[in-house]
Structure 1
Amino acid sequence: MRGVNFDDMMPLDPFADDPNDPASFIDDDEVVEPLSAQERVAVIQDLSHVRDAKRLLKPRGILGIHFLCEDCDQLHYYDWEIMEQNMIATLNGELPPVHEPSAEPNIDAYVPWDYAMGYLDGLEGR
Protein backbone atom coordinates (compact mmCIF):
# COMPACT_ATOMS: atom_id res chain seq x y z
CA MET A 1 0.00 0.00 0.00
CA ARG A 2 1.44 3.33 -1.01
CA GLY A 3 1.50 6.09 1.64
CA VAL A 4 0.76 3.83 4.60
CA ASN A 5 3.07 3.61 7.58
CA PHE A 6 4.21 0.03 8.25
CA ASP A 7 6.14 0.31 11.49
CA ASP A 8 7.46 -2.76 13.31
CA MET A 9 6.69 -1.05 16.64
CA MET A 10 2.96 -1.16 15.89
CA PRO A 11 0.77 -4.01 17.14
CA LEU A 12 0.13 -6.74 14.58
CA ASP A 13 -2.96 -6.26 12.46
CA PRO A 14 -5.67 -8.50 13.98
CA PHE A 15 -7.30 -8.73 10.53
CA ALA A 16 -4.18 -9.79 8.63
CA ASP A 17 -5.13 -12.32 5.91
CA ASP A 18 -8.83 -11.96 6.83
CA PRO A 19 -10.97 -11.68 3.67
CA ASN A 20 -13.52 -9.69 5.71
CA ASP A 21 -10.98 -7.09 6.90
CA PRO A 22 -12.97 -3.92 7.71
CA ALA A 23 -10.12 -1.83 6.30
CA SER A 24 -10.60 -3.38 2.86
CA PHE A 25 -12.77 -0.41 1.87
CA ILE A 26 -9.78 1.96 2.09
CA ASP A 27 -8.62 3.23 -1.28
CA ASP A 28 -4.93 2.38 -1.76
CA ASP A 29 -4.55 5.40 -4.04
CA GLU A 30 -5.76 7.88 -1.41
CA VAL A 31 -3.70 11.05 -1.53
CA VAL A 32 -2.50 12.54 1.74
CA GLU A 33 -2.86 16.31 1.75
CA PRO A 34 0.30 18.05 2.98
CA LEU A 35 0.09 19.84 6.31
CA SER A 36 0.13 23.60 6.41
CA ALA A 37 2.96 25.18 8.42
CA GLN A 38 0.50 25.91 11.24
CA GLU A 39 -0.88 22.33 11.22
CA ARG A 40 2.65 20.91 11.25
CA VAL A 41 3.57 22.99 14.32
CA ALA A 42 0.37 21.83 16.08
CA VAL A 43 1.09 18.15 15.33
CA ILE A 44 4.70 18.49 16.53
CA GLN A 45 3.45 20.09 19.76
CA ASP A 46 0.84 17.34 20.24
CA LEU A 47 3.50 14.69 19.55
CA SER A 48 5.65 16.21 22.30
CA HIS A 49 2.67 16.07 24.67
CA VAL A 50 1.97 12.44 23.78
CA ARG A 51 5.59 11.49 24.41
CA ASP A 52 5.51 13.30 27.77
CA ALA A 53 2.26 11.51 28.65
CA LYS A 54 3.71 8.16 27.65
CA ARG A 55 6.77 8.79 29.81
CA LEU A 56 4.98 10.26 32.84
CA LEU A 57 1.42 8.93 32.82
CA LYS A 58 1.85 5.38 31.57
CA PRO A 59 3.84 4.36 34.69
CA ARG A 60 0.91 5.75 36.72
CA GLY A 61 -1.52 3.43 34.93
CA ILE A 62 -2.90 5.84 32.32
CA LEU A 63 -2.41 3.88 29.10
CA GLY A 64 -3.84 6.40 26.65
CA ILE A 65 -6.82 8.53 25.75
CA HIS A 66 -10.44 8.00 24.86
CA PHE A 67 -12.78 10.15 22.83
CA LEU A 68 -16.41 10.03 21.79
CA CYS A 69 -16.71 9.08 18.12
CA GLU A 70 -19.29 11.26 16.38
CA ASP A 71 -19.94 8.58 13.74
CA CYS A 72 -20.88 5.73 16.08
CA ASP A 73 -21.53 7.63 19.33
CA GLN A 74 -19.20 5.31 21.26
CA LEU A 75 -15.92 5.84 23.09
CA HIS A 76 -12.74 4.85 21.24
CA TYR A 77 -9.55 4.03 23.17
CA TYR A 78 -6.05 4.79 21.88
CA ASP A 79 -2.77 3.83 23.55
CA TRP A 80 0.02 6.41 23.73
CA GLU A 81 2.03 4.35 21.21
CA ILE A 82 -0.82 4.40 18.70
CA MET A 83 -1.23 8.16 19.09
CA GLU A 84 2.53 8.64 18.65
CA GLN A 85 2.69 6.51 15.49
CA ASN A 86 -0.36 8.24 13.99
CA MET A 87 1.27 11.65 14.49
CA ILE A 88 4.59 10.49 13.05
CA ALA A 89 2.78 9.15 9.99
CA THR A 90 0.95 12.47 9.61
CA LEU A 91 4.22 14.41 9.83
CA ASN A 92 5.76 12.07 7.22
CA GLY A 93 2.87 12.64 4.81
CA GLU A 94 1.65 9.05 5.21
CA LEU A 95 -1.72 7.58 6.02
CA PRO A 96 -1.78 6.34 9.61
CA PRO A 97 -1.95 2.57 9.95
CA VAL A 98 -5.40 1.12 10.55
CA HIS A 99 -5.46 -0.13 14.11
CA GLU A 100 -7.14 0.10 17.48
CA PRO A 101 -6.24 -1.35 20.85
CA SER A 102 -7.71 -4.58 22.10
CA ALA A 103 -11.43 -5.18 21.79
CA GLU A 104 -11.83 -5.09 25.56
CA PRO A 105 -9.51 -2.36 26.90
CA ASN A 106 -9.35 -1.57 30.59
CA ILE A 107 -11.53 1.53 30.28
CA ASP A 108 -10.32 2.84 33.64
CA ALA A 109 -6.81 3.20 32.16
CA TYR A 110 -7.88 5.74 29.51
CA VAL A 111 -8.74 9.40 30.01
CA PRO A 112 -9.86 12.31 27.81
CA TRP A 113 -7.09 14.31 26.11
CA ASP A 114 -7.82 17.44 28.17
CA TYR A 115 -7.60 15.47 31.40
CA ALA A 116 -4.25 13.97 30.38
CA MET A 117 -2.87 17.41 29.44
CA GLY A 118 -4.11 18.87 32.76
CA TYR A 119 -2.51 15.97 34.64
CA LEU A 120 0.81 16.64 32.87
CA ASP A 121 0.53 20.34 33.67
CA GLY A 122 0.09 19.47 37.34
CA LEU A 123 3.04 17.06 37.35
CA GLU A 124 5.38 19.42 35.56
CA GLY A 125 4.17 22.66 37.16
CA ARG A 126 3.39 24.22 33.77
Structure 2
Amino acid sequence: MASVNYNSQMPLDPFADDPNDPASFLDPDEPAPPLSDEERAGITQDLALVARFKEELTPRGILGIFFLCEECDDFHYYDWDIMAANMAATLSGELAPVHEPSMEPDVEAYVPWDYAAGYLDGLNAG
Protein backbone atom coordinates (compact mmCIF):
# COMPACT_ATOMS: atom_id res chain seq x y z
CA MET A 1 0.00 0.00 0.00
CA ALA A 2 1.43 3.39 -1.01
CA SER A 3 1.97 5.92 1.73
CA VAL A 4 -0.05 9.13 1.52
CA ASN A 5 1.20 12.38 3.02
CA TYR A 6 -2.06 13.74 4.41
CA ASN A 7 -0.32 16.84 5.78
CA SER A 8 0.43 18.03 2.24
CA GLN A 9 -3.29 17.84 1.45
CA MET A 10 -4.38 19.93 4.40
CA PRO A 11 -4.93 23.70 4.40
CA LEU A 12 -2.44 25.88 6.26
CA ASP A 13 -2.86 26.28 10.01
CA PRO A 14 -5.34 29.16 10.50
CA PHE A 15 -3.74 29.87 13.90
CA ALA A 16 -0.13 29.98 12.67
CA ASP A 17 1.79 32.64 14.62
CA ASP A 18 -1.35 33.52 16.63
CA PRO A 19 -0.48 33.98 20.33
CA ASN A 20 -4.08 33.02 21.17
CA ASP A 21 -3.91 29.67 19.37
CA PRO A 22 -6.38 27.38 21.20
CA ALA A 23 -3.89 24.50 20.88
CA SER A 24 -1.13 26.48 22.60
CA PHE A 25 -1.86 24.67 25.86
CA LEU A 26 -0.76 21.37 24.31
CA ASP A 27 2.82 20.27 24.89
CA PRO A 28 4.20 19.21 21.49
CA ASP A 29 6.84 17.07 23.20
CA GLU A 30 4.28 15.13 25.24
CA PRO A 31 3.36 11.97 23.35
CA ALA A 32 -0.25 11.02 22.89
CA PRO A 33 -1.30 8.17 25.16
CA PRO A 34 -0.96 4.83 23.36
CA LEU A 35 -4.07 3.30 21.86
CA SER A 36 -5.39 0.09 23.29
CA ASP A 37 -5.73 -2.84 20.89
CA GLU A 38 -9.50 -2.31 20.97
CA GLU A 39 -9.19 1.42 20.17
CA ARG A 40 -6.72 0.70 17.35
CA ALA A 41 -9.07 -1.92 15.86
CA GLY A 42 -12.03 0.47 16.07
CA ILE A 43 -10.19 3.33 14.38
CA THR A 44 -8.84 0.99 11.68
CA GLN A 45 -12.41 -0.21 11.04
CA ASP A 46 -13.70 3.39 10.92
CA LEU A 47 -10.91 4.37 8.51
CA ALA A 48 -11.97 1.56 6.17
CA LEU A 49 -15.58 2.75 6.48
CA VAL A 50 -14.60 6.32 5.56
CA ALA A 51 -12.95 4.97 2.40
CA ARG A 52 -16.16 3.08 1.54
CA PHE A 53 -18.32 6.12 2.37
CA LYS A 54 -16.20 8.24 0.04
CA GLU A 55 -16.37 5.63 -2.73
CA GLU A 56 -20.13 5.12 -2.52
CA LEU A 57 -21.44 8.51 -1.42
CA THR A 58 -19.26 11.05 -3.24
CA PRO A 59 -20.75 10.14 -6.65
CA ARG A 60 -24.15 10.83 -5.05
CA GLY A 61 -23.10 14.33 -3.96
CA ILE A 62 -22.26 13.53 -0.32
CA LEU A 63 -18.91 15.12 0.57
CA GLY A 64 -18.51 14.06 4.18
CA ILE A 65 -19.85 13.80 7.70
CA PHE A 66 -21.28 16.35 10.11
CA PHE A 67 -21.29 16.23 13.91
CA LEU A 68 -22.94 18.36 16.56
CA CYS A 69 -20.11 19.88 18.61
CA GLU A 70 -20.99 19.69 22.30
CA GLU A 71 -18.59 22.53 23.16
CA CYS A 72 -20.05 25.18 20.85
CA ASP A 73 -23.45 23.56 20.19
CA ASP A 74 -22.98 23.96 16.43
CA PHE A 75 -22.55 21.54 13.55
CA HIS A 76 -19.06 20.82 12.21
CA TYR A 77 -18.58 19.48 8.69
CA TYR A 78 -15.70 17.16 7.76
CA ASP A 79 -14.78 16.06 4.26
CA TRP A 80 -13.85 12.41 3.74
CA ASP A 81 -10.16 13.25 3.34
CA ILE A 82 -10.07 15.25 6.58
CA MET A 83 -11.73 12.35 8.42
CA ALA A 84 -9.18 9.92 6.97
CA ALA A 85 -6.25 12.21 7.84
CA ASN A 86 -7.44 12.56 11.44
CA MET A 87 -7.81 8.80 11.84
CA ALA A 88 -4.46 8.05 10.18
CA ALA A 89 -2.74 10.54 12.49
CA THR A 90 -4.34 8.95 15.54
CA LEU A 91 -3.21 5.49 14.42
CA SER A 92 0.33 6.87 14.00
CA GLY A 93 0.29 8.31 17.53
CA GLU A 94 0.30 11.89 16.23
CA LEU A 95 -1.99 14.83 16.79
CA ALA A 96 -4.49 15.26 13.99
CA PRO A 97 -3.30 17.72 11.37
CA VAL A 98 -4.65 21.22 11.71
CA HIS A 99 -7.51 21.81 9.34
CA GLU A 100 -10.24 24.28 8.84
CA PRO A 101 -13.37 23.10 7.06
CA SER A 102 -14.82 25.48 4.53
CA MET A 103 -16.44 28.58 5.96
CA GLU A 104 -19.74 28.03 4.20
CA PRO A 105 -20.12 24.32 3.49
CA ASP A 106 -23.05 23.09 1.45
CA VAL A 107 -24.84 21.56 4.44
CA GLU A 108 -26.92 19.39 2.11
CA ALA A 109 -23.70 17.61 1.04
CA TYR A 110 -22.94 16.22 4.53
CA VAL A 111 -24.67 13.46 6.46
CA PRO A 112 -24.41 12.03 9.98
CA TRP A 113 -22.13 9.02 10.46
CA ASP A 114 -25.11 6.74 11.16
CA TYR A 115 -26.76 7.74 7.88
CA ALA A 116 -23.59 6.88 5.93
CA ALA A 117 -23.26 3.54 7.75
CA GLY A 118 -26.94 2.77 7.14
CA TYR A 119 -26.50 3.57 3.45
CA LEU A 120 -23.68 1.00 3.21
CA ASP A 121 -25.80 -1.53 5.09
CA GLY A 122 -28.58 -0.99 2.55
CA LEU A 123 -26.19 -1.54 -0.35
CA ASN A 124 -24.88 -4.72 1.24
CA ALA A 125 -28.41 -6.04 1.86
CA GLY A 126 -29.46 -5.62 -1.77
Regarding TM over 0.5, the answer is yes
Separation in structure 1 between the aligned mates of residue 22 and residue 35 of structure 2, nearest angstrom: 27
- TM-score when scaled to structure 2? 0.84
**Structure 1 residue runs of 4+, over 6 Å off?**
none
**Amino acid aligned to 1:100:** E
The structure in which a higher percent of residues are helix is 2
1:67/1:112 contact within 8 Å kept: yes
Unaligned runs of 5+ in 2: none
- Give runs of aligned pairs for residues 1-126 of structure 1, distance below 5 A: 7-18=7-18, 20-125=20-125
Separation in structure 1 between the aligned mates of residue 80 and residue 70 of structure 2, nearest angstrom: 21
- TM-score when scaled to structure 1? 0.84
The alpha-carbon distance between structure 1 residues 106 and 116, as it changes in their structure 2 partners (threshold 3 A), is same
Higher alpha-carbon deviation: 47-56 or 12-21: 12-21
- Number of residue pairs the alignment of both structures matches: 122
Separation in structure 2 between the aligned mates of residue 67 and residue 30 of structure 1, nearest angstrom: 28
1:23/1:98 contact within 8 Å kept: no
Residue 68 of structure 1 aligns to a residue whose secondary structure is strand
